[in-house]
Structure formats: structure tokens, C-alpha cells
Amino acid sequence: MEFVTVGLDLNGWDSAGPWVERAQPTHPSLVDEAHLMDELFGVVNVPSGIWIDEEGMIVRPPETAYPGKVTQLEVWAENPPVTDPDPYLLAQAEETMKIQVRPKKYYYALRDWVANGRESKHWLPPDEVVDRSRPAGPDVSEAAAHFELGQHLHKAGEPDAAVEHFRAAHRLQPENWTYKRQAWSLADPDQKPTDVYETDWLSDIKKYGPESYYAPLDM
């Protein structure tokens, strides 16, 4: 099996690069500035995993592939360790730990498929792959168009114009956390409250509940 990582980062390698450098991957490591993974596969949050077989057929559409680690806590533990973390970031880390994920189940399911292919109980037939992918729809389409325009304008040096399009994308597809998290990060790297957007990461998690963040794993 080959890993392919795709960094959904509007600022491309400027944002994703330091993390890739840190990881020193031996697999293909790609960057997706326009969040094409959302339009093409139906990704709405990260990390999301997609399984593709030897014939190029998807056998599991995007699902939460959370590794079970809170990266911020790892960074704080590095030398010299942080002893007095930012209160907002600490609250973020605490809320992150409330989000229900099943990293071990996902990990062993993936290994089972790698070993057993179509015989794996986690292999899905094509019709079910399609059914389990996210529904298309006019609001989803309009949200994607707004996000793409926002991305285009931001990179063209018009961040204020981009914000209007990002806001529209958030309104049209509120369940798409990549649109929200990406936009918030441009206003503030830690996605703290700003006067650019009405809400922020911590506010939305508390408002909608950690259970809204990732769809429950159905495997």
C-alpha cells in the first residue's frame, strides 16, 4: 500500500511545508490550495482517509482518519517545554479531546484491507461507496464556487474581498469544516475570535457540540 498525503492549505507550501519538513515523508506528499478534495471526493473536515484499490476504485469514501494525537500537546512538550500555555489554545486542546474518534478501529480496519483486499469485511462495493459519499446539492455547489473565488482572490492579494466569499461558503455549507477552519486560520493563525468572522473554532465546537465535528465511523 502507498500513502498519499494531501495538505488542504490555501497558502500552499508556505503553510503546509514546515509540517511536511518535520515529517520527512517517503510517500507522495501533495498540497491542495483550492480544496479540490472537497469537490472531487466530498471531504468536509480533516483528517479524512480514502481507500483506493489497485484498479483505481474507491473502496471507502472519505471518513475520519484521526490519529488519536493532539498535535498541539506534542508541540508544547518539545524542548523547551511550554509551561504556561495560551488559555485559548489550552481550551482548544481540551475540546479536541472530547471529540469522539476511533483511531484504533480505523487503523486495524485499514490493515485488514491491506492484507485481505476484497475479502476484508471493510471493503465496500462500488454502489455502497457512492451511496456513502456526501450528497451533492445546489448549496454545496454554491459554497464551493464561493470558496474557490475566495481562494483565488486571497492569493491575488485581495484578502478582504476573499472574506465575503468565505462567509458565503460558511453560510451555504455550515457542515464543511475545511471552509471554516481554513478561513479562520487566515484571519488568525490560532483560529481565535476576530472581527473578520462572526464565530471561531472554539465557539462553534461548543455551540454545535464535539459530536458534530466528525461523522461517527460506520465500519
Q: Which of residues 133-192 bind another protein (CB under 8 A)?
A: 133-138, 140-146, 148-149, 152-153, 158, 161, 165, 168, 178, 181-182, 184-185, 189, 191
Q: How far is the CB of 167 from another protein (least distance, A)?
A: 13
Q: How far is the CB of 87 from another protein (least distance, A)?
A: 20
Longest dimension (CA), the chain: 53
Q: Which is nearer to another protein, 1 or 97 (CB)?
A: 1
Q: How far is the CB of 60 from another protein (least distance, A)?
A: 9
Q: How far is the CB of 175 from another protein (least distance, A)?
A: 13
Q: Which of residues 92-131 bind another protein (CB under 8 A)?
A: 110, 113-114, 117, 126-127, 129-131
Q: How far is the CB of 158 from another protein (least distance, A)?
A: 8
How far apart are the C-alpha atoms of 153 and 179, rounded to whole Å? 15
How far apart are the C-alpha atoms of 185 and 154, rounded to whole Å? 13
How far apart are the C-alpha atoms of 62 and 38, rounded to whole Å? 10
Q: Which is nearer to another protein, 28 or 209 (CB)?
A: 28
Q: Would you tell me how many other CB atoms lie within 10 Å of the CB of residue 97?
A: 10
Q: Which of residues 10-39 bind another protein (CB under 8 A)?
A: 12-13, 15-20, 25, 28-32, 36-37, 39
> Which cell goes with 194?
476576530
How far apart are the C-alpha atoms of 51 and 59, rounded to whole Å? 5
Q: Which of residues 59-98 bind another protein (CB under 8 A)?
A: 59, 61-62, 65
How far apart are the C-alpha atoms of 30 and 20, rounded to whole Å? 10
CB within 8 Å of 78: residues ≥ 6 apart: none
Q: For residue 43, state whether it binds another protein (rule: CB under 8 A).
A: yes
One-letter amino acid at 119 equals E
